[in-house]
Amino acid sequence: MKKLALTVTAQSPLAIGRRKPGGSVSEAEQYIPGSVLRGAIASHLITFAAPDVPNGQTDDFHALFTGANPVIFQNAYPAVAQVNENELKVATTPVRVVPATAVTAKASPGFLSTTDNSGVFDTLIDRYCAELVHYPYEPTPPDVIEGNDQVEAFSGFYSHENQRYYTHPVSTRFLTRVGINRRRAVAEEQILYSAEVLSESFLKNVRVHPPEWEPVVFTGNILVPDDGLGDLLMAFINRRTQGLRIGSSRSRGLGKVQLEAQDISAELETSDLKTRIDQFNSKLTERRKLWSILGEDTTGKEEGSKPESNPNFFTIDLQSDTILTERWRRTTVLSPEMLKAVPDAPADDTLKLCAAYSSYDYRSGWNSAWGLMKDQALVTNKGSTYLFQTDKGEAWVNTLEKLERFGVGDRTAEGFGQVRVCHEFHQVMRENPA
C-alpha cells in the first residue's frame, strides 16, 4: 500500500459550497472534502486518457476509482496556522480535528499560543471519572476569576509543534456577481448574487510593510492499495494537474489549484498506536485515583455483576464526517456491535461503550460523472468521540490500526470515516491547558 501526502495550493478563490437541506443559501466549506479531490482528479485523468480508449475507461482508471479496493482520498484540511494575533504561517506538522470534548474559557477562548487566552483542555477523562464516583462534573477555566468561570466547546483544526498548539483559521469572503444575458451578452436585470468563497492567500504578518502575501495551503492524504498504481498516480498528480480546478464556478475563474503528491508510505510501518493506547490508559488510571478521594468507584461492583479483571480503554475520534449505518438505519453512535463487525475483529463479549459525544448534520453533493445530485446523507460530525472499555485490549490493536488506515462507515473512499484512536488531545488536562 502507498500513502501519499497531498498538498493543495490555492491559486484562485475556492467555491467549495455546502447547502443545508431545504435552504437556498450555499455556505463555503471550511476544508476541501475528499470527494471533491476524488472527482477532480478522476475527471482530469479521463481528459488525459489515451484517445483510442472510449471515455478514458482504462484498466488503471477502474482499479483506482471503481475497483474492489479503490483509492481513499482523505479530506484536505487548512494548513495555515495562527502563530499569534498578528502572524500566520504554514504548518509543517499534521493537521488534526479538535475532539468534541475539548473546551475553552468563554471570556478568552483559544490556545495559549495566542496572547491573553486561557487555553484549551479536554474533559473526556475527567467526565468519565466523575461519573464513576457519582459526582457532578462542571468544568471551569484554569484561571477562574469573577465573571470568567464559564467554558464553551472548542472546535476546529489544530497542529502541534515545538510543544505549542496552533489553531488553523479559515478565511472566507463574498464575491458579488451579476448574471449575463446569453442572447445579448450584457448584464441581465435583476440577477445579482453573492458567492461565499475560501480566500486564496493570507497575510503573513500584519505589522510588516510592505505586506507579504502567501497562497493558502491545504494538506491531506491519499491511500492507494496497489504500490504500482500509487507510483503512477503520484507521477500523474505531479506532472499533469497544472491548471486543475475544483469546486463550483470553475467557468468563472474560481477553483484553480496546484497539487503536489509525496510518498510517505514509511509512516504505515511506524505506527505509534500501541504507544497512544498505553499513554491514554496510564492517564486514565492516574485520574481515577485522583477522583477516588470524592467517593468509591463502584464500577463492576453492582449486584450480580462480575468484577473487572484488568480493563483497557480506548477512544475512537472521528477526524472527518462519518456515515454510520446499523441494521440498515442511519445512526450517530458507533456501537460495539459495529466494531465487532469489522473484518478480522476479535470475538469480544467484554467490549462496551462507556461514553459518546457526537452530533449530526446532512451532506449532499454533485456527481459530475452522472450529472446528478448525490443522495442526501445523515453524517456524524467530525470531532465526535467514543470511549470504549474491554478486557482484551491487546487483541484489538490490529483492528484499530485497520480502522485508522481505512476508516469506518460508508463511502470511506470519498474522505468520510477518518478516525484517530486515543487522540493525544485527550491527555491535555485542566491543570495544564494547551
Average pLDDT, rounded, for the chain: 87
SS3 328: coil
Domain coordinates in residue numbering, the chain: 2-78+215-268, 271-427
What is the model's pLDDT at position 302?
46
**pLDDT band for position 379 (cuts 50, 70, 90):** very high
SS3 206: coil
Q: Which helix (H) or strand (E) holds 5?
A: strand 2-10
Cell of 365: 453533493
Buried b (16+ CB within 10 A) or exposed e, 135-164: eeeebebbeeeeeeeebebbbbbbbbeeee
Exposed / middle / buried, residue 132 (Cβ in 10 Å: 0-12, 13-18, 19+): middle
Whether the CB-CB separation of 113 and 83 falls below 8 Å is answered with yes
Q: Which amino acid is at 421?
A: V
Pick the CATH number of 271-427 from 2.60.40.4350, 2.60.40.10, 3.30.1780.10, 3.40.190.10: 2.60.40.4350
Range in 36-45, 163-172, 290-299, 323-332 with the lowest mean pLDDT: 290-299
Q: Which amino acid is at 420?
A: R
Distance CA 321, CA 309 (A): 35
pLDDT digits (tens, 9 = 90+) for 164-219: 999 999 999 888 888 888 888 888 887 887 888 999 999 988 888 888 899 999 99
SS3 25: coil
- 2-78+215-268 classified as CATH 1.10.1060: no
Q: What are phi and psi of 42, to 5 degrees?
A: -60, -45
Distance CA 385, CA 357 (A): 5
Cis bond before residue 307 (omega within 30° of 0): no
- Residue 7, sorted as left (phi over 0), alpha (psi -120 to 50) or beta, turns out to be beta
What is the model's pLDDT at position 148?
65
**pLDDT band for position 319 (cuts 50, 70, 90):** very high
Strand partners, 88: 82
Planar angle of CA 211, 212, 215, nearest 5 degrees: 135
pLDDT digits (tens, 9 = 90+) for 233-259: 999 999 988 889 998 888 788 899 999
| Chain centre to alpha carbon of residue 107 | 27
For the beta carbon of residue 277, count every other beta carbon within 10 angstroms. Answer: 21
Give residues with Cβ within 8 angstroms of 310, minimum separation 6: 391
What is the model's pLDDT at position 305?
44
Looking at the whole model, is its pTM more than 0.85? yes
Cell of 104: 475553552
Q: Which amino acid is at 254?
A: L
Distance CA 320, CA 96 (A): 10
